[in-house]
Amino acid sequence: MAVKTRKQNVKDQPPQPNVDDRDRSPFVSPGTGKSRRAGKGTPFNSLLQNRNGLFPGFSFIRSKLGLTPSAFVKLGITLVFAALAGYLHWYHLSRLFENDRHFSHLSGLEKEMAFRTEMGLYYSYFKTIIEAPTFLNGLYLVMNDRLTEYPLVINTLKRFNLYPEVVLASWYRIYTDIMEFFGLPTKMCWSINRGEGMAPVDGCEGMGDPAYFYVTFVFLLNGLMMSLFFIYGTYLSGSRLGGMVTVLCFFFNHGESTRVMWTPPLRESFSYPFLVLQMLLLTHILRTRNPSRKTMWALGISNLCFMLPWQFAQFVLLTQVASLFALYILGYISPTKIQSLLVTHMITLAVCFVLMFGNSMLLTSFYASSLVSIWGIIALRDKFAEAFKPGLITWVMQGLVWVVSTVILKFMLSAIFGASDDAHISSLIKSKFTSYKDFDTMMYTCAAEFDFMEIETPLRYIKTLLLPINMLVVAVIAGRTIQDVVRFLREGEKYSVKPEDDDEEPEMLAKGELVYHSLQLIAFAVLAMLIMRLKLFLTPHMCIMASLICSKQLFGWIGEKFKLHMMVFGILSIMAIQGAANLQAQWGIMGEFSNLPQEQLLDWIKDNTQPNAVFAGAMPTMASVKLSAGRPIVNHPHYEDAGLRERTKLVYAMYSRKSAELVKRNLMQMEVDYFVLEDSWCTRRSRPGCSMPEIWDVEDPQNTGKVPLCTLMSRDSRPHFATVFHNNVYKVLKVPKAAKELR
């Protein structure tokens, strides 16, 4: 093997198409419907029209899509630009990830340690499946897991949304089997001199390396997402320049748009690209008078792919359904179309419920209750028309009935199913508007990503002009919407949505997609302001909305096409000043992953403990213990389960002011053999009131003022525990043998 020396550590809306254009590809801007005179076509168009030309395959594809030669060329150009955008984003993500960690030169253990907290937990199941004798055996192990919440046996595929790991593991096994069959190498390995008196390690690069394979597919998926963003911006604005604006806005605000380059295994990395596809299809459905069954199927499949990998998807879809219901109330979408969308959502939810082995959180969610409530309101629309005069009062009553019925139905279903896993969400929202706080709530709110949006975020939006452009676009759409509402209130049903079989395009229906995107933007903004982590929905949608500065429908009053394009290029030039600086700052991040104390801990565990030894400790560390040492743990970072929250509270009593005897008894009841104590968890705090002892003071006020137990254990763990390992970060406490026999 070649010997390499590791580098020094640097840091520890569009014009509406005619009815005749409805069946064209959604990625081609609608034409005028006029035929090109003979002899006026381009040479390439003439070649496409000749079935015996040089490109008979292109002619076949064009005829299958039902496109004119010019439309086919436009589609091809759009797809080429989309592919380029996708490649650039894949390369950008891969480069940032490599620069930050020097990932290709890490040993297998270091690569696993780089997946901290819940990232390591998710990756551990990928590792379990690929290391099992067979794929089915690995699948059985993750569906009957006894290592994650010892001694419980849980179906982790049901609990943790692990379908991405199952799919990737199956692909990895197929890939390695094929390459092995043909005798082809899959990775390159070398010995790496780490310096500082540390032993050399072997590092591998290539698709045969499990961690390398895993992150490569994550980045490829998110590269495809950028291709979708270009297509989305092009379709929404009716201009390829709009697609360019969307992509550039995303790159200029990359640090506010995604964190996949730092945290590849998180659920959003797999889930969010399918939301982009889902919203693109929804835009096409809103624009089309009679969407085909294939389109509705595609919407349902993308919906399912968005929901399966991420437990939070239901909250995002709740905002989408609420926005669509607002469209219906205002008359921008017909009852028939919204009912079709609701049926698609319901079917998707039912399929997801089955594939998640009956996960009750899906049926007891506000999303599920909202679907039923809106369906009932639309089914009873004639009753509302009889009871109330069409207009403002009807709108308000429909909104009130939706809110009240959704809340009542949600809590009824929760009581029926006995579900309390999402109770912490209600507590978290409550804490945002009141002084309420408890242990579980503070575990979230003390983390910066779950706090309110910081003031620096909108300032960064302003510097790249993303916020001003969105305010302009939303103001124009809001102005036209207000005009529609006033006109409807004056003219009544004469200005409402016409029946679906009417040959004319209803005037309000034609604007539905723009109003929907504005409402969705507002919903995402509210989520992001309440929980900063959720700006990953807001910023990309702002990039989509920015494409509308290229829309003739909104800004045709500026003048001819040339003037509009010059204005857009001028705006992009100003945006690029701060945008380029942001990209330079990202490219300037150079580092190398190293965590010697944890490496020492994991090596000690593997060498000095039994394979069935049970561990407890801080959630991030427990994920690494399970992943790299393969030992059973009693708590982990996936905090969404009510039972796990109770377990974690018992374990974290070590960082409270309770007595050592009580804490030891709790650990014995959970059959813990070793506790990994971290002194930093005892002293650090993200802000006043957020250290672990201070959080416990809220939960356990009677012991306020006492010395934290973790401080006492750091000094001397006797007589309650025996210290069997320690370094400058970790201290392993063993439950005494005599106490263990009392189980």
Helical H runs in 492-595? 512-530, 535-546, 552-555, 561-587
How far CA 595 is from CA of 123, 630, 689, in Å, comes to: 18, 19, 28
pLDDT for the residue numbered 57: 62
Contact 533, 262 (CB under 8 A): no
How far CA 476 is from CA of 434, 438, 546, in Å, comes to: 35, 44, 12
Structure-block tokens of residue 483: 């005009």
What does the pLDDT look like over 455-486, one tens digit per residue?
999 999 999 999 999 999 999 999 999 888 88
H/E/C letters for each residue in 347-385? HHHHHHHHHCCCCHHHHCCHHHHHHHHHHHHHHCHHHHH
pLDDT for the residue numbered 507: 53
pLDDT for the residue numbered 505: 45
Q: Determine the Cα–Cα distance for residues 375 and 367; give it in Å rounded to an integer.
A: 12
Contacts of 40 (CB under 8 A, 6+ apart): none
| Residues β-bridged to residue 145 | 154
Q: What is the DSSP string of 200-219?
A: PEEEEESTTSHHHHHHHHHH
Return the amino acid letter for 712.
L
Contact 442, 409 (CB under 8 A): no
Contacts of 266 (CB under 8 A, 6+ apart): 118, 119, 122, 259, 260
Burial grade of 610 (CB within 10 A; 0-12, 13-18, 19 or more): exposed
SS3 604: helix
The domain locations on the chain are 101-208, 232-490+508-587, 596-734
pLDDT for the residue numbered 686: 75
Contact 73, 44 (CB under 8 A): yes
Tokens 């009693």 sit on residue: 634
Q: What is the DSSP string of 1-62?
A: --EEEPPPPS---PPPPPGGGTTS-TTS----SPPPPTT-S-HHHHHHH-TTSS-HHHHHHH
Q: Determine the Cα–Cα distance for residues 564 and 556; give it in Å rounded to an integer.
A: 8
* Model pTM score: 0.88
Contact 97, 584 (CB under 8 A): no
DSSP state of 498: P
Q: Determine the Cα–Cα distance for residues 11 and 9; give it in Å rounded to an integer.
A: 6
Nearest to 681 by CA among 668, 664, 694, 698: 694
Q: Determine the Cα–Cα distance for residues 231 and 28; give it in Å rounded to an integer.
A: 9
User: Which residue ranges in the chain fall short of pLDDT 50?
Assistant: 1-26, 28-44, 46-48, 51-54, 497-505, 739-743
What does the pLDDT look like over 542-567, one tens digit per residue?
999 999 999 988 888 887 888 888 99
Nearest to 440 by CA among 726, 647, 593, 173: 647
pLDDT for the residue numbered 130: 96
Number of H-type helices and E-type strands within the chain: 35, 7
How far CA 509 is from CA of 483, 500, 587, 669, in Å, comes to: 14, 10, 45, 62
Nearest to 47 by CA among 62, 32, 35: 62
Q: Determine the Cα–Cα distance for residues 493 and 504; give it in Å rounded to an integer.
A: 16
Contact 22, 604 (CB under 8 A): no
SS3 395: helix
Class (C level, CATH) for 596-734? alpha beta
Nearest to 453 by CA among 649, 256, 317: 256
Q: Determine the Cα–Cα distance for residues 393 and 628; give it in Å rounded to an integer.
A: 61
Peptide bond into 719 cis (omega under 30): yes
* Chain center to CA of 45: 42
Structure-block tokens of residue 29: 């801007």
Return the amino acid letter for 313.
A
DSSP state of 258: -
Tokens 């395959």 sit on residue: 57
SS3 154: strand
Q: Determine the Cα–Cα distance for residues 705 and 693; give it in Å rounded to an integer.
A: 10
Q: Determine the Cα–Cα distance for residues 732 and 714; give it in Å rounded to an integer.
A: 10
